[in-house]
Amino acid sequence: MKQTDTKTQILDVAQDLIQRLGVNGMSYQDISQGVGIRKASIHTHYPKKDDLLAALLDRYSDRFLRAI
Protein backbone atom coordinates (compact mmCIF):
# COMPACT_ATOMS: atom_id res chain seq x y z
CA MET A 1 0.00 0.00 0.00
CA LYS A 2 1.31 3.43 -0.85
CA GLN A 3 2.08 5.94 1.89
CA THR A 4 -0.55 8.34 0.56
CA ASP A 5 -3.22 5.68 0.83
CA THR A 6 -2.28 4.94 4.44
CA LYS A 7 -2.37 8.63 5.35
CA THR A 8 -5.79 8.97 3.74
CA GLN A 9 -7.08 5.92 5.61
CA ILE A 10 -5.74 7.30 8.89
CA LEU A 11 -7.51 10.61 8.28
CA ASP A 12 -10.74 8.89 7.22
CA VAL A 13 -10.84 6.70 10.34
CA ALA A 14 -9.84 9.59 12.62
CA GLN A 15 -12.56 11.80 11.18
CA ASP A 16 -15.18 9.12 11.71
CA LEU A 17 -14.04 8.53 15.30
CA ILE A 18 -14.01 12.24 16.09
CA GLN A 19 -17.51 12.67 14.70
CA ARG A 20 -18.77 9.78 16.82
CA LEU A 21 -16.64 10.06 19.99
CA GLY A 22 -15.18 13.56 19.98
CA VAL A 23 -11.52 14.56 19.87
CA ASN A 24 -10.82 13.49 23.45
CA GLY A 25 -12.61 10.18 22.94
CA MET A 26 -10.46 9.18 19.96
CA SER A 27 -7.06 7.55 20.41
CA TYR A 28 -4.26 6.31 18.18
CA GLN A 29 -5.17 2.81 19.37
CA ASP A 30 -8.68 3.27 17.95
CA ILE A 31 -7.23 4.49 14.65
CA SER A 32 -4.74 1.63 14.45
CA GLN A 33 -7.54 -0.90 14.89
CA GLY A 34 -9.69 0.84 12.29
CA VAL A 35 -6.93 1.03 9.68
CA GLY A 36 -5.28 -2.28 10.58
CA ILE A 37 -1.81 -0.91 11.30
CA ARG A 38 0.36 -0.50 14.39
CA LYS A 39 0.18 2.67 16.48
CA ALA A 40 3.83 3.32 15.66
CA SER A 41 2.90 3.56 11.98
CA ILE A 42 0.46 6.35 12.76
CA HIS A 43 3.16 8.20 14.68
CA THR A 44 5.36 7.96 11.57
CA HIS A 45 2.82 10.02 9.63
CA TYR A 46 1.50 12.15 12.50
CA PRO A 47 3.95 12.29 15.45
CA LYS A 48 1.49 14.10 17.74
CA LYS A 49 -2.28 14.16 17.97
CA ASP A 50 -2.11 17.88 17.20
CA ASP A 51 -0.42 17.05 13.88
CA LEU A 52 -3.24 14.68 13.01
CA LEU A 53 -5.88 17.24 13.96
CA ALA A 54 -4.16 19.94 11.90
CA ALA A 55 -4.14 17.63 8.87
CA LEU A 56 -7.83 16.88 9.38
CA LEU A 57 -8.68 20.57 9.62
CA ASP A 58 -6.67 21.33 6.47
CA ARG A 59 -8.44 18.55 4.59
CA TYR A 60 -11.84 19.67 5.83
CA SER A 61 -11.14 23.31 4.92
CA ASP A 62 -10.05 22.34 1.41
CA ARG A 63 -13.20 20.28 0.86
CA PHE A 64 -15.44 22.97 2.30
CA LEU A 65 -13.92 25.73 0.18
CA ARG A 66 -14.29 23.62 -2.97
CA ALA A 67 -17.95 23.07 -2.16
CA ILE A 68 -18.75 26.79 -2.01
Q: What is the pLDDT of residue 63?
A: 78
- Residue 43 CA to residue 31 CA, distance in Å, equals 11
* Domains defined along the chain, listed by start: 3-67 (1.10.10.60)
Closest to 10 in 3D by CA, of 64, 65, 63, 47: 47
Q: Where are the beta strands (DSSP E) in 2-64?
A: none
Cα torsion angle, 19, 25, 26, 29, sign: negative
Q: What is the pLDDT of residues 1-60, one digit of tens each?
A: 455 589 999 999 999 999 999 999 999 999 999 999 999 999 999 999 999 999 999 998
Predicted TM-score of the model (pTM): 0.85
pLDDT exceeds cutoff 60 at 64: yes
